[in-house]
Amino acid sequence: MDQGGQLDNLSPILSDQVLVNGTAVPLTLTGDGKLRFLGQRQRCLTVEKEVLGFAVEEGSRIRIKAVVEEREGICCCGNRGDLVRESFVFEPLSEDSLALWSQKLRDYIDSLGRPKRLLIFLNPFGGKKSATKIFSEDVKPYLEDADIQITVIETKHQLHAKEVAKTMDLSKYDGIVCVSGDGILVEVVNGLLEREDWSAAINMPIGMVPAGTGNGMVKSLLHAAGEQCCVYNAILAVIRGYKHSLDVATISQGKTRFFSVLMLAWGLIADIDIESEKYRWMGSARLDFYAIQRIFYLRHYNGRICFVPAPGFEDYGEPMSFHCRPTDEESPKQEESLKTQQHGYLGSDVKLEDMHWRTISGPFVSVWLHNVPWGSEDVMAAPNAKFSDGYLDLIMVKGLPKLALLSMMSNMNDGSHVESPYVTYIKVKAFILEPGTRVEDPTKEGIIDSDGEVIARGNVTYKGNQKPLMAYDKVQITVDQGLATLFAPK
């Protein structure tokens, strides 16, 4: 048995003869994490990327649990792309060798910084109500192979995940995983930031497994790494433990705050996102279906936007002076929110009055702010958006012909809609929205939608089941660069 020196990454950590299918073959674990052995043919597994975990079985055997590229003769269960779970079994020739292999494999896997204890949120009501099935059939087997301890919570009502995140014992977990759409992620982030120990809590890594209607965040993460947006790629990103920082936007009105990680919309996109809820049974197709209705009965909204442009976008809009923050008086419906947020994160302390502001007045068809590229699995809303650049991408549309709008909307699947001459696409550091009435009917107002939730709605508009967090009035958005942490592909 050779326990090689570790002078470089190619030196063997351990090399020994083992039995594979009753035949003695050489097996080597190298310093760069390659597990090389001979079976019917030479095999090499990269521990960091391909090995989920291992188990010591009766008879002094070690079973390596891995994910490998699908090979001829191996059937992949369901639509899993080009990876498949597979086991490789070997038997050390002595008890000492068995103990040493177990120790060296465990030491190397532990050195990768992978999570060992995860809190899992399942949203059984999201999308096509398939989260429980997705977890049991597609997620749990991977976590078991990786020997990760899990605590599973099935959300019972809206804001359930937020309540748990706000009070959970952080010391019990190495991360949180949301088997859901984007809504549970938003709840978790808001819950962590409303804690008294928010500065420590927000460092808790959060993973996403697509099981909802939109799945914009996990699509953005996987697409950025050149990977297909599917369940197994998402859970592998969690198991491997790679992390990526994420900007968090603070939407504020007076002292009321909402923390956004995906987007804010007002006008056409908000109307489609929220008013299409009555067609939720259609899954993601509800968005396309209702978009056609809204395009042919197009609404225009009075209002104004103010923004601090990123470098390179200073020529958009007209210059203005920043006088004060949005309304400092809270309405009665905001009082309960204030009580729960007074000990949490208060938002960026950036001095807005020292920044160079620009303004654009309506009417508007749509105002859309995005933090990440994808709004859903098939809508690339902001192709130039970055996860932690400290900016939001603003996609704004004013007047345009309906046919041009229909063409523009059909190009959202690849992000080319931003190239339309009717689209203004810029990056901003801070933003103020002053929403107004509909041009066609001044008695009616609009919806302010953030991350799929109504945070404000005006007169004679969409009737939701819950009171919105804010009034249909001026709201302010600032960005905290890299505040949150996500599990992400490398």
Whether 474 and 392 map to the same domain: the answer is: yes
Whether 61 and 142 map to the same domain: the answer is: no
CB 108 within 8 A of CB 29: yes
Q: What is the CATH number of the domain that holds 314?
A: 2.60.200.40
- Dump pLDDT digits (tens) for 262-311: 999 999 999 888 887 776 667 667 777 888 888 888 999 999 999 999 99
How many of the other CB atoms lie within 10 Å of CB of 59?
7
Cα of 117 vs its chain's centroid, Å: 20
CB 385 within 8 A of CB 465: no
Among 241, 264, 294, give the residue marking a domain's end: 241
Among 241, 271, 297, give the residue marking a domain's end: 241
Q: Is residue 132 part of a domain?
A: yes
Kindly report which listed range (54-63, 196-205, 323-332) carries the lowest average pLDDT score: 323-332
Whether 75 and 93 map to the same domain: the answer is: yes
Please name the helix (run of DSSP H) or strand (run of DSSP E) that holds residue 442, with its range, or none: none
Whether 295 and 364 map to the same domain: the answer is: yes
Q: How many domains does the chain have?
A: 3
Tell me the residue type at 149: Q
* Paired strand residues for 370: 263, 393
CA distances, 484 to each of 2, 69, 242, 333, 398 (Å): 44, 32, 14, 28, 33
Alpha-carbon distance of 168 to 195, in angstroms, equals 10
CB-count exposure of residue 240 (10 Å: 0-12, 13-18, 19+): buried
* Paired strand residues for 209: 179
Q: Is residue 337 part of a domain?
A: no
Q: Is residue 3 part of a domain?
A: no
Helix, strand, coil distribution of the chain in percent, nearest 5 = 30, 35, 40
Whether 178 and 271 map to the same domain: the answer is: no
Whether 317 and 205 map to the same domain: the answer is: no
Of residues 157, 167, 159, the one with CA closest to residue 343: 167
Whether 303 and 428 map to the same domain: the answer is: yes
Tell me the residue type at 267: G
* Paired strand residues for 263: 370
CA distances, 55 to each of 15, 59, 88, 139, 336 (Å): 19, 12, 11, 19, 51
Whether 418 and 277 map to the same domain: the answer is: yes
pLDDT of 212: 84
Strands (E), 161-293: 175-180, 206-210, 243-253, 256-260, 263-267
Give the mean pLDDT of 32-56: 87
pLDDT of 79: 41
Whether 208 and 281 map to the same domain: the answer is: no
Active-site hit among 182, 273, 451, 480: 182
Alpha-carbon distance of 143 to 304, in angstroms, equals 49
Task: Read off the pLDDT band of 11 (50, 70, 90).
Answer: confident
Whether 30 and 135 map to the same domain: the answer is: no
- Dump pLDDT digits (tens) for 198-224: 999 999 999 999 998 789 999 999 999
- pLDDT above 80: residue 40: no
Q: Is residue 328 part of a domain?
A: no
Whether 164 and 88 map to the same domain: the answer is: no
Alpha-carbon distance of 215 to 185, in angstroms, equals 10
Q: What is the CATH number of the domain that holds 149?
A: 3.40.50.10330
Of residues 475, 462, 159, 106, the one with CA closest to residue 336: 159
* Better pLDDT: 39 or 94: 94
pLDDT of 129: 80
Tell me the residue type at 467: K
Alpha-carbon distance of 35 to 376, in angstroms, equals 38
Q: Is residue 360 part of a domain?
A: yes
- Dump pLDDT digits (tens) for 346-396: 887 788 888 999 999 989 999 999 999 999 998 999 999 999 999 999 999
Q: State the residue range of the domain holding 28.
A: 12-112
Among 112, 131, 165, give the residue marking a domain's end: 112
pLDDT of 364: 97
Tell me the residue type at 135: F
182 is known as an active-site residue: yes
On average, the pLDDT of the chain sits at 88
Whether 181 and 208 map to the same domain: the answer is: yes
Q: What is the pTM of this model?
A: 0.88
Q: Is residue 477 part of a domain?
A: yes
Of residues 384, 378, 250, 360, the one with CA closest to residue 306: 360
Of residues 294, 288, 190, 332, the one with CA closest to residue 248: 190
Q: What SS3 state is found at 179?
A: strand
Tokens 């080009």 sit on residue? 82
| Strand 12-20 versus strand 83-92 pairing type | antiparallel
Alpha-carbon distance of 240 to 379, in angstroms, equals 27
Q: What percentage of the chain reaches a pLDDT higher than 90?
A: 69
